[in-house]
Amino acid sequence: MADKHLQFLEIPRKDPDKLAVEVRIKDFREIYSQYSAEAAGAQAGRCISCGNPFCEWKCPVHNYIPNWLTLVNDGKLFEAAELSHQTNSLPEMCGRICPQDRLCEGACTLNDGIGAVSIGAIEKYITDEAFKQGWKPDMSNVVRTGKRVAVVGAGPAGLACADILVRNGVTPVVFDRYSKIGGLLTFGIPPFKLEKDVVEKRREIMEYMGVEFRLNVDVGSDISFETLTQEFDAVFLGMGTYTYVKGGFAGEDLPGVHEALPFLISNINRELNIDDESAGFIDMRGKQVVVLGGGDTGMDCNRTAIRQGASSVTCTYRRDEDNMPGSRRDYKNSKEEGVTFLFNKQPIEIVGSDRVRGVKLVETRLGPPGPRGRRVPEVVPGTEETVEADAVIVAFGFLPSPPDWFVKQQIALHANGRVRVSGAPSLQFQTTNPKVFAGGDMVRGSDLVVTAVFEGREAAQGILRYLGLRASPGH
């Protein structure tokens, strides 16, 4: 019998099949297929169970990756789903949208020349297939405590917080201003990366667990924050970051210049048949589109514009290809789908009088590292050029959007607008208002879905201690 630990030598890495370019650019469905049980087992069996699992440490939620790979290889799907959920509240979403190449798979021992284990695709397979076969989280041992916590924001941090609370007998009531749960999981990330019935299935599961959702409710206007603090034993804030970063150059206010998020939201509203007059559909059909920014949001804008039928899409980034922050997988898919990339190019002006006509760029070269350790782009004098454009999408990232009622509620902020929280292990993620906790992008700044999940879960542990409760093992 062959040694299972040498399976990686006999079986090469094989990612799930991907829709052909000419097919996938015609609609917004997910482009990757699902593993069969046999393929998932074979790919999971490539794991060599190295003694110090770097994949686990590199994962922000510290998933028990080698353990659930072994369970998949042994055909124990429900056990793998149970174990996966012990560390991650949204594994089927992280399996789809995490930049595994920079996290778990990037740290895989086999990544050096052989081909990392396809951890993300297997993580997605586990939950998708378990749900399909009727698996649900086991709530039989949960003892209700009578405690209630208001969760403001149904994005990844809020959902993760609610998940831990409900598993420990606390009733979470999740408020969100949108008509569907998920926050940017639903309204920001395009369906070709995350189809929205996946998020709706998670809502169904969470409601089965005992989570209550109150949607189309804007805390601060439809219901006062004082009401929440009076009616609930604690409050968690997971409201994300929605203020877009401006470039600070001329022409940003010209007709035809769009912020990334309203563009993405308007497209998803159309896909979901949501009639939102405040977010009129932004259509790139037939246009020469220039996307400014090389992060994940920029990649989402690139690929959305292609699917809308743009005549061309050009993406500019002020550093080189190696320093681009976006997912390698999304960058590769963007290139396959026809996006042109201009590296070491910095926009200095959006050109036009009555509307946008082009973007003036200047060449950059990377200088010495700045305060955060990244090399700083420096302008090369005399290298200005103008790229024609009918439409420009600005995707430079997002800043915190703290509501004005924070001051009255004694919720203190850092100078950059992020919420100030306690780092004490006993009451982690507690704000300067003892009854209020916070996590995710509004605390950390714009980051990955998986880091928001981690902070929501950690904040829930702080809330449980604040309420005098002990968390159950594994949750």
**For 34-88, what is each residue's pLDDT tens digit?**
999 999 999 999 999 888 899 999 999 999 999 999 999 999 999 999 999 999 9
**For 181-227, what is each residue's pLDDT tens digit?**
999 999 999 999 999 999 999 999 999 999 999 999 999 999 999 99
- Report the pLDDT averaged over residues 368-384: 90
- Report the pLDDT averaged over residues 229-252: 92
Q: What is the mean pLDDT of the chain?
A: 94
Query: Residue 1's pLDDT is what?
Result: 37
- Report the pLDDT averaged over residues 439-444: 95
Query: Residue 52's pLDDT is what?
Result: 85
Query: Residue 438's pLDDT is what?
Result: 97
Residue ranges matching CATH 3.50.50.60 in the chain: 148-242+399-466, 246-396
Of 248-252, 366-370, 433-437, minimum mean pLDDT range = 366-370
Q: CA separation (Å) from 390 to 291, 326, 351?
A: 11, 25, 10
**For 272-325, what is each residue's pLDDT tens digit?**
998 766 668 999 999 999 999 999 999 999 999 999 999 999 999 999 999 888
CATH topology of domain 4-132: Fumarate Reductase Iron-sulfur Protein; Chain B, domain 2 (1.10.1060)
Query: Residue 5's pLDDT is what?
Result: 61
- Report the pLDDT averaged over residues 224-231: 97
3-state secondary structure the chain: CCCHHHHHHHCCCCCCCECCHHHHCCCCCCCECCCCHHHHHHHHCCCCCCCCCHHHHHCCCCCCHHHHHHHHHCCCHHHHHHHHHHHCCCHHHHHHHCCHHHCHHHHCHHHCCCCCCCHHHHHHHHHHHHHHCCCCCCCCCCCCCCCEEEEECCCHHHHHHHHHHHHCCCEEEEECCCCCCCCHHHHCCCCCCCCHHHHHHHHHHHHHHCCEEECCCCECCCECHHHHHHHCCEEEECCCEEEECCCCCECCCCCCEEEHHHHHHHHHHHHCCCCCHHHCCCCCCCCEEEEECCCHHHHHHHHHHHHHCCCEEEEEECCCHHHCCCCHHHHHHHHHCCCEEEECEEEEEEECCCCCCEEEEEEEEEEEECCCCCEEEEECCCCCEEEECCEEEECCCEEECCCCHHHHCCCCECCCCCECCCCCCCCCCECCCCCEEECCHHHHCCCCHHHHHHHHHHHHHHHHHHCCCCCCCCC
Query: Residue 450's pLDDT is what?
Result: 97
Which tokens go with 458? 């950690």
Query: Residue 144's pLDDT is what?
Result: 95
Residue ranges matching CATH 1.10.1060.10 in the chain: 4-132
Q: Which CATH class is domain 148-242+399-466?
A: alpha beta
**For 144-189, what is each residue's pLDDT tens digit?**
999 999 999 999 999 999 999 999 999 999 999 999 999 999 999 9
Query: Residue 374's pLDDT is what?
Result: 84
CATH architecture of 246-396: 3-Layer(bba) Sandwich (3.50)
Query: Residue 279's pLDDT is what?
Result: 62
Query: Residue 287's pLDDT is what?
Result: 98
